[in-house]
Amino acid sequence: MEERNTLSARSAVLSALLGSHPPSLPARRLVRVGALFGIAEGTVRVALSRMVAAGDLVQSGGRYALTERLVERQARQDESRAPHTRPWDGTWEIAVVTAERRAPADRAALRHAMTTLRLAELREGTWMRPANLLREEWPAVVTAQCTLIDGRPHADPTPLLWDLDGWAAEARGLRRSLDRAEGLAEGFLVSAAVLRHLLADPLLPPELLPDDWPGAGLRARYDDFDRRFRELLDRHLRD
């Protein structure tokens, strides 16, 4: 597992807000989060101003809140902790790019959308995943560029689409890190690493996963860790 021993002012602010429900905190609390990593108050306040200017945050009455784009990221983060799935009947969702002319920005937007939807690219322009996730509708960026197909591959394409061994090894390392994390700063770092990793979980049906898949175990351990960590952090920020 890649270890990080600090956060930038921007990362500290984002981590604090992404972990707050609702994602809004007064400036003084964000300054105290920065202090956990030795970040000076002035540096945190400069970062807050720049994040407002960049459209990452909105400021009102001394409080800072995430903008809609980052609220959506928080929703994805929450979903990765408690995913909404359905029984799998063997069907795969397949999206094939059929738009003839696409600007680079459209290509990038589609790739981002597919990653967010947890589809993987079998080959250029062909994305797929098992149809076991609950979703209301496909975003416009997908329907504008792709033809959508429900199908059943003759052979399981999972090994071609995801590195399950790599994800599992990282998950086990993160669980060990949760067990030995000490102090608020280290807890912050490990928490951020776990949430990033859960966002990368393909959320496959059990039929396609190894018997010792660590996804559920990591989520359960993190939920327990996060409850205690948030209590300690809240006391620290209130003192």
Percent of the chain with pLDDT over 70: 97
pTM of the model: 0.89
Q: For residue range 109-147, list pLDDT tens digits in order.
A: 999 999 999 999 999 999 999 999 998 899 999 999 999
Compute the average pLDDT of residues 182-205.
Answer: 94
Tell me which H or E stretch contains 26.
strand 24-26
Q: What are phi and psi of 165, to 5 degrees?
A: -60, -40
Judged by phi (left if over 0) then psi (alpha if -120 to 50, else beta), residue 134 lies in beta
Give the span between the Cα atoms of 168 and 57, in whole angstroms: 34
Give the pLDDT confidence score for residue 1 in this predicted structure. 42
3-class DSSP state of 35: helix
| Residue 234, pLDDT score | 87
Report the pLDDT averaged over residues 149-160: 97
Q: How confident is the model at residue 3 (pLDDT cuts 50, 70, 90)?
A: very low
Distance CA 235, CA 149 (A): 51
* Residues 192, 185: Cα–Cα separation, whole Å: 11
pLDDT value of position 4: 53
pLDDT given at position 179: 95
- Give the residue ranges of DSSP H helices in 36-128: 41-53, 68-81, 104-116
- pLDDT digit string, tens, across residues 39-52: 999 999 999 999 99
